[in-house]
Amino acid sequence: MTRDQAPERTGAEILLEALVREGVDTIFGYPGGANLPIYQHLPEFPNLKHVLVRHEQGAAHMADGYSRASRRVGVCFATSGPGALNLTTGLATAFMDSVPLVAITGQVPTAMVGRDAFQESDVIGVSMPITKHSYLVTDVKDIAKTVKEAFYVARTGRPGPVLIDLPRDLQQKMGPWVFPDTIGIPWYHPVSRPDPAAVAAAARALTRAKRPVILAGHGVLLSAGEEALLKVAEKQGIPVGTTLLGVGAFPVQHPLALHLTGFMGTGWNLNAVIECDCLMMIGMRVDDRVTAKLDGFAPNCETFIHIDIDPSEHGKNVRPQISIVADAREALEALERELPEQPYRTDWLLQIDRWREEHPLRAKIANSWLQPQEVLIEMYKHAKSEAIVVADVGQNQIWAALWWNYDKPGLFINSGGSGTMGFAFPAAVGAKFARPEKTVFCVTGEGGFVMTMQELSTAVEHKVDVKIVILNNASLGMVRQFQDSFYGGVRSAVDLSVMPDFVKLADAFGLPGYRARTVAETRDVLAKAMAHKGPVLIDFVIDPEANVYPIIPLGKQLKDFIEEPLSA
């Protein structure tokens, strides 16, 4: 169909139709003056389910959780000015973790842009450093192609959030409905295929190595590379650890699993990284939370191999000898073909087993308090590795990452790069929309939970079956632990003993709320929560002095990790 024959529709309809074409089924959003034409036409699109959030930050996190749980592009709407600005924390969170989102913000009418109109803010300017790309649409004819391009950019290469700022007058203006077949940025060619020579070099280096280790990051999950990773690891018996965002890329219970690496990684993982002679890092940024003090990161490693789709990540922190710029899955598949079978390196694997025995994950259970690990263990009994766990930020995040046997991708979701408190609950709601058949737990501290708890109302409205697990230690636990350990023991501005009664709060929002103080109560309330269909909240009153271990003191090296003190 040519432009002239195309039926005329309003910009809002063109936008919504383009979203349908992109396969969108769920939108998390909030209306306001600058996007009302979109909302006027929304009911005409029954295939687009709109979820009215209670704060725009919730919309961005829900779209994010939706995307991480499904590997589809998440979509959120907001109005201009304050609406769009409320999205920014969510956009930054998605940007740091390479999550594909498309955010569509209303903007004041074109003629008013730049005149400090009511609810005008420079959303393109504000969002530039926290989006992969952004568009200010200036012509109704550009709306469809901008949507198409935005989705393409969001999900290809290294994924990320993309923002479309759409002035209100264009939403109302008539224009031709034409959905383009091609994308107008022919120079944008994210590399995905690995260079065969580099792959061959990596295969040789791994084969030659006496003590190889693989670390896997979010890129493995984003590219669906987990199966290829398993094959590579099993072919030569190479142990595999993951970053916080890579949790799920390799089954935790696999004999070759090293579990979590980095700042709060397991002792056997950190020892393996310290002693390895060849380290292959896949789909990860190798940031400071992974390396700790740089000169103590893999000090015995002779060959660093880095696989990442983003060329700028190569050598940013650690200079690799072998660098493969490629999609993680494609690189791993190529590597698997290239890698010869060879007998497992028994000495190395036995050494790792010894470290695993010497440095197990430990939790104290000797006092009268409920321990967070006990809560997670009881939860795991109900869910095994079939549930999705969305963790917030702080101690709860690390406990949830460590004390669970994740064996599939998309089952552990957290804000790793940005560390955004308040992420978990809305992200869990988004994850449940994406995968309604899954049990979804939101594991959160009471501090982070109250940052976005207004979404309880959204969850109740849509009967979103998220089991909210508050690990309530009556303080900003992680900060308290840092103050105790690294800031002279001065506990400053971390006390949260004055907080709402969460059971009553749940009641006020219209969902069941429970409290547990012991393991027996934990079992009881979990059974009730699992039986309930719809959102449910449990306030677990845990040991206020419980700490996260292992942990590497700030500014120290991997080898300086501290473990949970043995109970007396």
Which residues form the interface with ligand TPP (CB under 6 A)?
392-396, 419-421, 445-448, 471, 473, 476-479
Provide the 3-class DSSP secondary structure of residue 247. coil
For residue 540, the minimal CB distance to ligand TPP (Å) is 11
Q: Which among another protein, ligand TPP, none contacts residue 188 (Cβ within 5 to 8 A by kind)?
A: another protein
Burial readout 364-401 (b: 16 or more C-beta within 10 A, e: otherwise): beeeebbbbbbbbebbbebbebebbbbbbbbbbbbbbb
Binding map of another protein across residues 329-348, x = CB under 8 A, - = no contact = xx------------------
Q: Which is nearer to another protein, 224 or 519 (CB)?
A: 224
For residue 55, the minimal CB distance to another protein (Å) is 27
Could you tell me whether strands 240-242 and 161-167 are parallel, antiparallel, or unpaired per DSSP bridges?
unpaired
Q: Which is nearer to another protein, 2 or 182 (CB)?
A: 182
Contact status, residue 289 vs residue 262, Cβ threshold 8 Å: yes
Task: Find the residue with minimal CB distance to ligand TPP.
Answer: 445
Pick out residues in 224-243 that bind another protein (CB under 8 A). Answer: 224
In whole angstroms, give the CA distance from residue 271 to residue 561. Answer: 10
Q: Which of 33, 52, 70, 563 binds another protein (CB under 8 A)?
A: 70
For residue 470, the minimal CB distance to ligand TPP (Å) is 9
Contact status, residue 286 vs residue 317, Cβ threshold 8 Å: yes
Pick out residues in 396-415 that bind another protein (CB under 8 A). Answer: 409-410
For residue 222, the minimal CB distance to another protein (Å) is 7
Q: Which of 7, 180, 196, 311 binds another protein (CB under 8 A)?
A: 311
DSSP 458-483: HHHHTT--EEEEEEE-SB-HHHHHHH
Contact status, residue 477 vs residue 445, Cβ threshold 8 Å: yes
- Number of residues interacting with another protein: please give it, by CB under 8 A: 40
Q: Which of 223, 243, 458, 481 binds another protein (CB under 8 A)?
A: 223
Q: Which is nearer to another protein, 152 or 482 (CB)?
A: 152
Tell me which residue has tokens 């058949």. 437
For residue 479, the minimal CB distance to ligand TPP (Å) is 5
Does residue 114 belong to the site contacting another protein (CB under 8 A)? no
Does residue 510 belong to the site contacting another protein (CB under 8 A)? no
For residue 249, the minimal CB distance to ligand TPP (Å) is 24
Residue 542 DSSP symbol: B
Q: Which among another protein, ligand TPP, none contacts residue 330 (Cβ within 5 to 8 A by kind)?
A: another protein
For residue 224, the minimal CB distance to another protein (Å) is 5
The token duo for 193 is 């295929």
Pick out residues in 116-175 that bind another protein (CB under 8 A). Answer: 124-125, 128-129, 132-133, 136, 138, 152-153, 155-156, 158
Q: Which of 2, 182, 346, 497 binds another protein (CB under 8 A)?
A: 182
Q: Which is nearer to ligand TPP, 171 or 473 (CB)?
A: 473
Residue 35: phi and psi, rounded to 5, are: -125, 20
Q: Which among another protein, ligand TPP, none contacts residue 448 (Cβ within 5 to 8 A by kind)?
A: ligand TPP
In whole angstroms, give the CA distance from residue 540 to residue 543. Answer: 10
Could you tell me whether strands 161-167 and 101-107 are parallel, antiparallel, or unpaired per DSSP bridges?
parallel
For residue 258, the minimal CB distance to another protein (Å) is 23
Nearest-CA neighbor of 468 among 415, 525, 385?
525
For residue 451, the minimal CB distance to ligand TPP (Å) is 6
The token duo for 218 is 């979010």
Q: Which residues, listed in sequence order, are joined to residue 195 by a DSSP beta bridge?
A: none
- Report the first-to-last Cα separation within the chain, whole angstroms: 78
Q: Which among another protein, ligand TPP, none contacts residue 156 (Cβ within 5 to 8 A by kind)?
A: another protein
The token duo for 518 is 């012991």
In whole angstroms, give the CA distance from residue 283 to residue 195. Answer: 16
For 493-535, strand residue ranges (E) read 513-516
Does residue 185 belong to the site contacting another protein (CB under 8 A)? yes
Does residue 315 belong to the site contacting another protein (CB under 8 A)? yes
Q: Which is nearer to another protein, 289 or 314 (CB)?
A: 314
Q: Which among another protein, ligand TPP, none contacts residue 327 (Cβ within 5 to 8 A by kind)?
A: another protein
Does residue 436 belong to the site contacting another protein (CB under 8 A)? no
In whole angstroms, give the CA distance from residue 378 to residue 164. Answer: 44
Does residue 69 belong to the site contacting another protein (CB under 8 A)? yes
In whole angstroms, give the CA distance from residue 472 to residue 494. Answer: 13
Provide the 3-class DSSP secondary structure of residue 161. strand
In whole angstroms, give the CA distance from residue 90 to residue 73. Answer: 14
In whole angstroms, give the CA distance from residue 560 to residue 552. Answer: 6
For residue 133, the minimal CB distance to another protein (Å) is 4
Helix axes 328-338, 196-208, angle to 10 degrees: 60
Cis peptide before 550 (omega within 30 of 0): yes
Q: Contact positions toward another protein, by CB under 8 A?
A: 69-72, 124-125, 128-129, 132-133, 136, 138, 152-153, 155-156, 158, 182-183, 185-189, 192, 222-224, 310-312, 314-316, 327, 329-330, 409-410, 435
